[in-house]
């Protein structure tokens, strides 16, 4: 037990700062980095980037139909055939504003990773603080974009709800065919005996082909439960193993690099092997949502949901113009801004961005809830009332 010169007992606590040990010594032995950084895996399906200088963007879609030329006798007038139409979809990018007021006295305090008692001057700490906040703002924007990409793949649209959107939610509806959002129920779910995940995948791939003319080449499993059910299908296990053995014999690659049927948990997308024409991925990442006064971490792709997709989907990420004269209304991925208040002195930081991930060919992807019961795959963070007021911005032209 230790006492100060005036007889007061010193309260020693575990893990507190050096002030709790006024007569002892202390050494910083390690700095633990933040491992909860955002994944950018889903961005691989939206890898085209466009920076338009207009408030809205448009996408022309050639609406193909599997028509056949009409039979007609050579002795009668020919049959008029309607020209093929194209569809123009008009979208307005969402808008992000992350505004912060850093602690004014932070530059005179020890920074994370700096030795106890400090070894940096205040100017260097100020610069490091600003870089720290800026990098965190970029991380938050990237996580929001990843969330939007997940919603586009899951629901065929994105709903933007936030300050200023309360009375008029911005809905971005890509008009994906309703048959491409599936919810299995009852004995049809994959965790029931007698279900056939391989048959489901084949049937859904045929539906994507029917609606879009393209075919999915990748399956993304939300979490591990759906993949566990999928790999337990005897038709899947046998074919995946045989395919990996043949590929290893041809390419000389190690078998463990071509197939992974064991348990595995990592951030983002983890390659698990190939089945038929499909690359198999397990995807795992979370985001914090404010629900009332509480914060809840929810998976970006719900456990038990899957996504079928491919590069044919023509996923694109648009970064719209920044509505700020300081940036000359340019289109930028990230628009950081800093300004000072003189009295009392205060630094203000704001990050702006106007991202829009969109599905160029919406019917080139589909989603399914294969374990949890439900009639469709929906955004769990959008209420039924909010969904009912969403409208489409799509127009059709010849």
- Dump pLDDT digits (tens) for 128-175: 888 889 999 999 999 999 999 999 999 999 988 777 666 455 678 898
- Contact between 144 and 355 under an 8 Å Cβ cutoff? The reply is yes
Range of the structural domain that residue 246 is part of: 41-397
Helix (H) or strand (E) holding 140: helix 122-155
Ranges in the chain, pLDDT < 70: 1-25, 27-29, 31, 113, 117-118, 164-170, 240-262, 372-398
Q: Is residue 22 part of a domain?
A: no
Is-cis flag, bond preceding 344, omega within 30? yes
Q: Is residue 48 part of a domain?
A: yes
Closest C-alpha to 55, from 92, 1, 89: 92
pLDDT of residue 33: 77
- Contact between 174 and 358 under an 8 Å Cβ cutoff? The reply is yes
pLDDT of residue 386: 36
CATH of the domain at 224: 3.90.1690
pLDDT of residue 89: 79
pLDDT of residue 142: 95
Q: Is residue 31 part of a domain?
A: no
pLDDT of residue 135: 92
* Contact residues for 357 (Cβ-Cβ < 8 A; gap 6+): 46, 145, 148, 149, 152, 158, 315, 316, 317, 318
Q: Is residue 367 part of a domain?
A: yes
Residue 163 burial by CB count (10 A; 0-12/13-18/19+): exposed, middle or buried? Answer: exposed
pLDDT of residue 287: 93
Q: Is residue 211 part of a domain?
A: yes
pLDDT of residue 339: 93
Q: Is residue 9 part of a domain?
A: no
Into how many domains does the chain fold? 1
pLDDT of residue 337: 94
- Contact between 367 and 359 under an 8 Å Cβ cutoff? The reply is no
First to last CA, the chain: 87
pLDDT of residue 121: 78
Q: Is residue 35 part of a domain?
A: no
The tens digit of pLDDT for each residue in 175-212 reads 899 999 999 988 899 998 888 999 999 999 999 999 99
Q: Is residue 120 part of a domain?
A: yes
- Contact between 229 and 280 under an 8 Å Cβ cutoff? The reply is no
- Residue in this structure with the two tokens 């491919």, named with its chain if needed: 310
For the chain, helix (H) and strand (E) counts, in that order, are 5, 19
- Residue in this structure with the two tokens 């909860």, named with its chain if needed: 36
């Amino acid at each position: 037990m230790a006492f100060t010169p005036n007889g007061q007992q010193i309260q020693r606590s575990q893990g507190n700062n050096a002030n709790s040990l006024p007569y002892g010594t202390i050494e910083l032995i390690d700095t633990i980095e933040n491992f909860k950084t955002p994944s950018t895996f889903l961005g691989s399906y939206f890898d085209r980037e466009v920076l338009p200088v207009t408030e809205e963007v448009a996408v022309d879609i050639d609406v193909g139909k599997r028509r056949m030329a009409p039979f007609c006798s050579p002795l009668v007038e020919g049959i008029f055939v309607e020209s093929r139409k194209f569809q123009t979809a008009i979208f307005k990018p969402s808008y992000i504003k992350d505004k912060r007021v850093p602690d004014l006295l932070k530059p005179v305090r020890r920074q994370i990773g700096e030795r106890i008692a400090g070894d940096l001057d205040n100017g260097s700490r100020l610069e490091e603080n600003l870089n720290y906040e800026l990098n965190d703002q970029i991380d938050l924007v990237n996580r929001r974009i990843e969330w939007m990409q997940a919603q586009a793949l899951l629901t065929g649209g994105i709903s933007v709800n936030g300050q200023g959107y309360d009375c008029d939610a911005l809905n971005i509806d890509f008009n994906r065919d309703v048959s491409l959002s599936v919810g299995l129920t009852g004995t049809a779910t994959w965790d029931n005996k007698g279900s056939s995940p391989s048959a489901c995948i084949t049937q859904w791939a045929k539906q994507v082909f029917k609606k879009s003319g393209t075919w999915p080449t990748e399956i993304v499993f939300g979490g591990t439960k759906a993949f566990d059910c999928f790999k337990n299908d005897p038709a899947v296990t046998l074919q995946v193993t045989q395919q990996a053995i043949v590929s290893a014999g041809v390419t000389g690659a190690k078998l463990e690099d071509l197939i992974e049927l064991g348990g595995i948990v990592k951030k983002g997308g983890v390659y698990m092997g190939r089945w038929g024409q499909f690359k198999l991925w397990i995807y795992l990442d979370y985001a914090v949502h404010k629900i009332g006064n509480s914060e809840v971490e929810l998976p970006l792709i719900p456990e038990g949901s899957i996504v079928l997709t491919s590069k044919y989907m023509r996923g694109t990420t648009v970064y719209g113009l920044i509505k700020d004269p300081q940036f000359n209304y340019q289109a930028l991925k990230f628009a950081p801004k800093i300004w000072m208040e003189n009295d009392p002195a205060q630094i203000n930081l704001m990050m702006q961005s106007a991202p829009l991930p969109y599905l160029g060919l919406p019917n080139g992807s589909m989603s399914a809830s294969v374990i949890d019961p439900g009639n469709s795959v929906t955004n769990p963070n959008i209420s039924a009332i909010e969904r009912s007021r969403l409208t489409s911005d799509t127009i059709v032209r010849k």
